[in-house]
Amino acid sequence: MNHILIERIQSLGLGDKFYLLRVSIGPVQEFITEARKTRDLHIGSRLLSLATCNSMKPIFDKYGRDFIIYPYLGNSNTCPDSIPNLYMTIIPENELNSTVNQMEGSLRNFWNDVAEKVRKKIPDFADLKLWNDQMHGHFYMNWVAIPITVEELEKSYKSKVKDVQQFLDERKMTRTFAEWKGDNIEKCVQCGHRECMPDELFSKLRGNRKFKRRIKERERLCAVCLSKRFLDESDIGLNKINFESVSDVSARPFKQLIGDNKAKKEIEYFLNEINELREFLVEKRVDEIENLGGEWFYKEYFSYKFLKKQYGLEDTSELKNLSKKAHDALTKVYEGIGSEPCKYYTIVSMDGDDMGKLMSGEPLDEFKIDDQTDLSRILADTGEDISVLIEEGGNGYCVYSGGDDLLAFLPLENSLQAIKKIRLSFSDGFKRFKGMSAAPTLSAGIVILHHHDPLRKGLIEARRSVENAKEWFIKKDAFFITLRISSGSVITWGSKWIIDDFTIRGEDGVVKIYPIQVFDLLKRFVSFMTADQGDGLSTDFIHDLMRELPAFYKYNEYKLNWSFSDEMFKTEFKRLLKRHIPEKSNLWNDQVTTLDLITEVFAHIADPDNNKQMNVEYKNRVKDNFEHLLQIASFLAREQIWRSDKR
């Protein structure tokens, strides 16, 4: 049976000779990560998807959506929210040049329309030269094409896809760019490499009630970053974005906790005081707690000095009084509910391992165009499933989810469980593909950071963590957690998702192999420290263990590696457990086997000789990596205990 694309070719009478065209739209990472707020990020991601769709438009109009071989776009005529910036199509031999020119023109026209929409919003802005220089040709299209016949499309598809992918990889190594234009003056505070628009423009913007909240004091942006900031959701076909800032993410569980206690007088009083303050600040009143931005649930936001600076106000006793009343009202909410919002949230960046090879059929014995279609559909469906997991199951916010590539924000409280489900969903999705013996794996960068930390730092760290996960471990399939504490400390810990070589001797003397789910191990260990007061494992356990840790390691200067005293470690580990778990604790009654197992697992993780899944060049970092695991576990426990103490 013919593939639908081949049937379409035959119905249009396009002949036998074509070009297999592979296209990449850029820039990607720099365009997305140049963001101060989650709103900038979401707008940037949507613009990239729209730019890709618009470059495809001449193909849709002339030949139909069936001519897009990859990715799977579904049956809707709208642009998917999370479309990859890389796609593949075929073009009739004699129409290649004209079609590519039309594609580049459509991409250029789309971006020019965006630029014009933003420029019309800006009052009395006359410096069009600098604006046009920066906006011109921001999005670019890299492409390569190789000849292909209908017969080759049916019988030699795998070799053709491999060739076109290799050529595009080589093409992308040389980036086309225009001559730099500009002066040695102040650069954009968001991207850091384009020069900012004139100062007088920002003075006018901050004086405009509609825009003053979108531009901070002393914030200077270039034309591209200003466009992302000033585009409204409706300008690019988006619904209202629920998460305006990272504070909305970190405060989300607390907002829901308040929503479940609407009858409490403290909450009614808080909402009334907030509306009094908002009216003074020329903000809209809100009828529901859910409609308040996340920043309104943190007491530091009601500092008189902060509000005065944030809204550009003069000294006034009325603002001082209103801010104090709002601060006191929020304090009563904390006391009434017995909790405070978490000040940390999680950025999750995930990337499928060797997906380029899979999508070109390299690991498969046979790879036909039907297989490409099936894999493309699976990727699209998996991306949608993961997006639902994040936003409904994880209570988070998905920036984009293309199936093999993900960027999302999660509240700290929900993150570990949600990330585990995301990984399983990714693997389960590919079980529908019959031509693969093993499902592809996924590597992740997970960043935990304070909601006042610059967003861009977290985004860069998330991408770096993904790269570390792929680099440190054999066959990848790993994660890296980076913890950015408000004090400025940065702690990183990497691991495989599963420790599949852990062995333990049973009561019958038989050595048994246990695959250890590392997230489950971390969750269980943290739960010991967050048990009911007077019944759990003291967090001082980690402090005391880390103090003794150097005694278990010895550096061999001849072999240039670390040796580890396994038995000494386990003896001390058990001694400290007895010291830091109360004698009458339920942990001793119900968890003795589990505590013994955790002792064995931690000894396994701490031993460089047992880390066989780690690439050789990183094994000397096992000691530090183990310390960082302990520090991250301690942080998670302390954060949870801190909130539960308010109850």
pLDDT at 508: 67
Percent of the chain predicted with pLDDT > 70: 92
Distance CA 247, CA 409 (A): 11
* pLDDT above 90 for 548: yes
* pLDDT above 80 for 532: no
Residue range 57-71: mean pLDDT, rounded:
91
38 or 321, which is more confident: 321
Residue with tokens 């628009």: 197
Expressed in percent and rounded to 5, the helix, strand and coil fractions of the chain are: 55, 15, 30
Residue range 183-195: mean pLDDT, rounded:
81
Percent of the chain predicted with pLDDT > 90: 44
Bridge-based pairing state of the strands 86-92 and 561-564: unpaired
Residue range 350-373: mean pLDDT, rounded:
88
Residue range 407-420: mean pLDDT, rounded:
92
Residue range 111-120: mean pLDDT, rounded:
88
* pLDDT above 70 for 123: no
In CATH terms, are 4-227 and 342-496 the same topology? yes
pLDDT at 352: 92
Q: Is 636 helix (H, G, I), strand (E, B) or coil?
A: helix
Phi and psi (nearest 5°) for 21? -110, 125
pLDDT at 561: 75
Nearest to 194 by CA among 183, 178, 210, 179: 183
Phi and psi (nearest 5°) for 144? -140, 155
1 confidence band (pLDDT: 50, 70, 90): very low
Q: Is 447 helix (H, G, I), strand (E, B) or coil?
A: strand
pLDDT at 646: 42
Instruction: List all residues 6 or more positions away from 484 whose beta carbon is below 8 Å from its beta carbon.
Output: 447, 448, 449, 450, 453, 457, 458, 461, 490
pLDDT in tens, 450-475: 999 989 889 999 999 999 999 999 99
Right CATH number for 342-496 from 3.60.21.10, 3.40.50.2300, 3.30.70.270, 3.20.20.80?
A: 3.30.70.270
Q: Of all helices (H) and strands (E), which one includes residue 192?
A: none
pLDDT in tens, 81-98: 788 899 999 999 999 999
147 or 589, which is more confident: 147
Query: 361's torsion region: left (phi>0), alpha (psi -120 to 50) or beta?
Result: left
295 or 647, which is more confident: 295
* pLDDT above 80 for 372: yes
What is the torsional sign of CA 331, 333, 339, 342?
negative
As a whole number of Å, the end-to-end CA separation of the chain is: 65
pLDDT at 434: 76
* pLDDT above 80 for 2: no
Average pLDDT, the chain: 87
438 or 273, which is more confident: 273
pLDDT in tens, 220-262: 889 899 888 888 888 888 777 777 789 999 999 998 888 777 6
Residue range 298-321: mean pLDDT, rounded:
88
pLDDT in tens, 126-156: 567 888 888 887 899 999 999 999 999 989 9
497 or 290, which is more confident: 497
Say how far residue 322 (Cα) sits from the centre of its chain. 37
Nearest to 62 by CA among 96, 88, 99: 99
pLDDT at 299: 93
pLDDT at 506: 65
Is 4-227 a domain of CATH 3.40.50.2300? no
Residue range 380-400: mean pLDDT, rounded:
89
3-state SS string over 428-467?
HHHHHCCCCCCCCCEEEEEEEEECCCCHHHHHHHHHHHHH
CA atoms in the 13 A half-sphere facing the CB of 353: 22
Nearest to 479 by CA among 524, 450, 521, 512: 521
Residue range 411-434: mean pLDDT, rounded:
89
Domain definitions of the chain by residue range: 4-227, 252-337, 342-496, 497-647
Structure tokens belonging to residue 224: 């591209």
Biggest CA-to-CA distance, the chain: 84
Are 226 and 251 spatial neighbours (Cβ–Cβ below 8 Å)?
no
pLDDT at 204: 77
* pLDDT above 70 for 647: no
pLDDT at 586: 79
Distance CA 478, CA 443 (A): 5
pLDDT at 262: 60
pLDDT at 644: 62
364 or 507, which is more confident: 364
Could you count the other beta carbons within 10 Å of the beta carbon of residue 308?
16
pLDDT at 275: 94
- Choose the weakest-confidence range: 14-23, 105-114, 176-185, 499-508: 176-185
- Choose the weakest-confidence range: 354-363, 379-388, 434-443: 434-443
518 confidence band (pLDDT: 50, 70, 90): very high
Bridge-based pairing state of the strands 442-450 and 478-484: parallel
* pLDDT above 50 for 563: yes
pLDDT at 176: 63
